[in-house]
């Protein structure tokens, strides 16, 4: 079943990057503090979700950010980039405000991401998810992702990311 929510996917640029950072702080503080703790949440917000970090990712790393907008209000954001010789789309960010989860926004966002991968002729979508983020893992599995391994990465500041690697085929061979 396809839900027709008619959400807008607004490309992130210098005019709306501050709104994305405000959204990130709200989502991360609420969702991730119980999983990884306040200190690591603050560190990751500064390192990966600050205006400077996001601007750099867009300009120098080829990461595309989109704000998810519904009825004039931002409800989440996504970010992705082509990787591994342009054979896969890496979904680096997929976040929706808690009050908007379970309403089809995630499904519509995933359809947008899958279309982006197929438009680029990429055969798979890859993501990493914290091993203790059980609710997100269940959602990804429901959307057709499978665990393909795990990775532990030192991100500095005395913190690590201990994640599953998940993958979904797009239907394009390659």
- For domain 8-169, give the CATH number: 3.40.630.30
Q: Residue ranges per domain, the chain?
A: 8-169
* 68-72, 124-128, 155-159: segment of lowest average pLDDT: 68-72
Spell 76-110 as b/e; 16+ CB within 10 A means b.
bbbbbbbeeeeebbbbbbbbbbeebbeeebbbbbb
pTM attached to this predicted model: 0.91
User: Which residue from 106, 151, 130, 156 is spatially nearest to 32, judged by alpha carbons?
Assistant: 130
Residue 81 bridge partners (DSSP): 90
Q: What is the pLDDT of residue 173?
A: 66
Name the percent of the chain lying above pLDDT 70: 96
pLDDT tens column, 29-53: 999 999 999 999 999 999 999 999 9
What mean pLDDT comes out for the span 13-20? Answer: 92
Report pLDDT digits (tens) over 89-118.
999 999 999 999 888 888 999 999 999 999
Statement: residue 138 has pLDDT above 50: yes
pLDDT for position 104: 85
Does residue 2 have a pLDDT over 60?
Answer: no
Residue-wise pLDDT for 59-80, tens only, equals 999 999 999 998 889 999 999 9
Mean pLDDT of the chain: 92
Task: Compute CA 154 distance to the chain's CA centroid, rounded to the nearest angstrom.
Answer: 19
3-state secondary structure of 29: helix
């Amino acid at each position: 079943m396809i839900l027709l929510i008619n959400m807008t996917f607004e490309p992130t640029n210098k005019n709306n990057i501050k709104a994305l950072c405000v959204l990130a702080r709200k989502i991360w503080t609420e969702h991730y503090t119980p999983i990884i703790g306040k200190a690591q949440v603050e560190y990751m917000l500064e390192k990966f979700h600050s205006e400077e970090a996001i601007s750099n990712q867009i300009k120098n790393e080829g990461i595309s950010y989109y704000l998810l907008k519904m009825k004039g209000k931002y409800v989440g954001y996504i970010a992705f980039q082509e990787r591994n010789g342009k054979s896969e789309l890496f979904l680096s960010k997929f976040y929706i405000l808690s009050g908007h989860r379970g309403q089809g926004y995630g499904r519509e966002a995933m359809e947008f991401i899958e279309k982006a991968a197929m438009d680029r002729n990429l055969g798979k979508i890859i993501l990493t998810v914290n091993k203790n983020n059980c609710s997100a893992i269940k959602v990804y599995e429901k959307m057709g992702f499978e665990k393909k391994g795990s990775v532990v990465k030192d991100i500095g500041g005395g913190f690590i990311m201990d994640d599953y690697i998940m993958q979904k085929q797009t239907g394009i061979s390659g």
